[in-house]
Structure 1
Amino acid sequence: MIKYLIIDDEYIAHEIVKGYCDLLPNMQLMKNCYNALEAIEYLNENTVDLIFLDLNMPKLKGFEFLKTLALTPKVIVTTAYKEYAVEGYELNISDYLLKPFSFERFLKAINKTVSSTSNSTHTTLEKKESVSDSIFLRSSKKYVQVTIDNIQYIEAAGNYTKVTTIDEVITIREKFSDAFELFNDLDFFQVHKSFAVSKKHINSIEGNQIFISEHIIPIGKTYKANIIQLLR
């Protein structure tokens, strides 16, 4: 379960973020805070995995608030001001969403956050389990949470992408190039124009083929360099 906090002085912003989160499994709203002081008071007694943070708030601005925290959860900034993005990434935020943002952009930020393997000073066991080992995939009209360690490879299928796990094959509404962006920081390597594989699931490599369980993945001529990197 991903426990989250919304910090924004606008009621409609809370409704939008919560509405988006309600479409996803395992997202639990812990508190609506309408200024940073409310959030500080809450976090003095409680912990969360993720904060959705507005910047332009009364009394204490968003980034000023972050600098007061001794232990910082994952943070997704939600703001109308693009000029503060660089400062945000210097503070190690997970993503920077410009209002108004679509659900697709929101989902990309969530996936980036829950699949992040970067270390944080807030490293409770619950957080490690909840935000570092799964990803949300859009399949048909639902969103499926998939354990990253179970994904063996992904394969292009026209305007869709097939995600093959240990247990099943999930077809998602993403082009291969877009889908691969979700995985390219997670020890996945593109080995063909239509295939990317998880290094941990490779049984063997022979000639121009990769063997994963009972599956045989072709190696494209232009991806030989990726195979060398994979073998390091």
Structure 2
Amino acid sequence: MISYIIVDDEPLAHELIEEFCSMLPHLELKKHCYNAMEAMQYLNSASADLMFLDLNMPKLKGFDFLRTLPNPPKVIVTTAYKEFALEGYELNVVDYLLKPFSFERLVQAVNKAVGTVPPAPAPTKSKEAAASPSSFFVKGDKKYHQVFTDDLLYIEAYGNYTKLHLTESMIINHENISHFESLLPEGRFLRVHKSFIVALDKIQTIEGNRIKIGRHEVPIGQTYRSVVGKVIGYR
């Protein structure tokens, strides 16, 4: 689970963010903070993976508060003021959401944040068993699907769409293939063609310019052969 807090002086903003996040089962709300001082008090005694942070708050502004934290959570800024975006990225915020923002836009921000938050290991399990599989949400067939990277075989560009081929299903999404390339964990997936990304641990055989994954065959693009060769260890 990814824990989060909301730091905003507007109750309606809390309601909206909590409502959106409740649709994402891997998020867990830890605290409603209505000013920076409440958030500071909470973070002095507890922790969170992610913080939704408003900027224009009484007593202590959002970025001034952020500068006081020696080890801040990952931050998604939520504000009506776009002129502070550059300052936010200088402070390494994950994303900058302009109010009012949509559920889709929040999902994009959370996907970016989740990719930078390491899963917490369970103390009674081995390191390998404790690591939760990373995941992200995609829209397909008028609903949102949580895609675990462990279940992903390969991704295929399909005209104006992208197909995500999973072990048990396939999802068609409107995002382009480069969007998913930026979400996937490094070292586990490889772009082997302008239209294909494969999961390295799902490859069964490589013969010529074809990769066999289960009952599927994926082509290797001419310009990608050398990269594939280096990663797989063949010439």
Aligned counterparts of 1:133 and 1:99: Cα–Cα separation in 2: 28
Matched residues in 2 for 1:214 and 1:116: separation?
33
The one-letter amino acid of 1:134's match is S
SS at structure 2 position matched to 1:180? helix
Deviations 1:168-217 (CA, angstroms, capped at 9, x unpaired): 22313324336435436644333234321123433443321122344210
Name 1:208's counterpart in structure 2.
Answer: 209
| Alignment partner, residue 155 of structure 1 | 156
Please tell me the residue identity of whatever aligns with 2:55: L
Alpha-carbon shift at residue 108 of structure 1 (Å): 0.9
Task: Give the Cα separation in 2 of the matches to 1:79 and 1:168.
Answer: 40
1: CA distance, partners of 2:102 / 2:71: 30
Quick check: 1:125 aligned with 2:121? yes
How far 1:89 moved relative to its partner?
Answer: 2.4
Secondary structure at the aligned position of 1:9 is classed as coil
Map 1:1-232 to 2 at 5 A. Answer: 1-116=1-116, 124-125=120-121, 129=131, 133-165=134-166, 167-177=167-177, 179-183=179-183, 186-187=186-187, 188-224=189-225, 226-227=227-228, 230-231=231-232
**How far apart, CA to CA, are the structure 2 residues paired with 1:95 and 1:87?**
12
Q: Is the 8 A contact 2:156 2:196 kept in 1?
A: yes
Residue identity opposite 2:218 in structure 1 = I
Q: Percent identity?
A: 52
CA distance in 2, matches of 1:129, 1:66: 29
Quote how far apart the aligned CAs of 1:85 are: 2.4
Cα contact 1:176–1:194 (8 A) shared by 2: no
Question: Could you report, residue by residue, the CA deviation over 1:50-94 in whole angstroms, capped at 9, with x for unpaired residues?
Answer: 110111211111122122223322111112222322332232221
Distance 1:84 1:26, change over 3 A: same
Residue 24 of structure 1 aligns with an amino acid whose one-letter code is L
Tell me how far apart the structure 2 counterparts of residues 182 and 20 of structure 1 sit (CA, whole Å).
23
User: In the alignment, is the contact (CA less than 8 A) between 1:54 and 1:77 conserved in 2?
Assistant: yes
Shifted more, 132-141 versus 19-28: the winner is 132-141
Runs of 4+ in 1 over 6 A off after TM superposition: none
Q: When the two structures are superposed, what TM-score results if normalisation uses the length of structure 1?
A: 0.82
Q: Which moved more, 1:44-53 or 1:168-177?
A: 168-177
The one-letter code matched in structure 2 to 1:88 is G
Note the aligned Cα RMSD (angstroms): 2.7
2:155·2:177 contact (CA, 8 Å) conserved in 1? no
Contact 2:190 2:198 (C-alpha < 8 Å) held by counterparts: yes
Q: Distance in 2 between matches of 1:83 and 1:206?
A: 53
TM-score, normalised to structure 2's length? 0.81
Deviation at 1:26, TM superposition (A): 2.5
Relative CO higher for 1 or 2, CA cutoff 8 Å, sep ≥ 6?
Answer: 1
Q: Which runs of 5+ in 1 are unaligned?
A: none
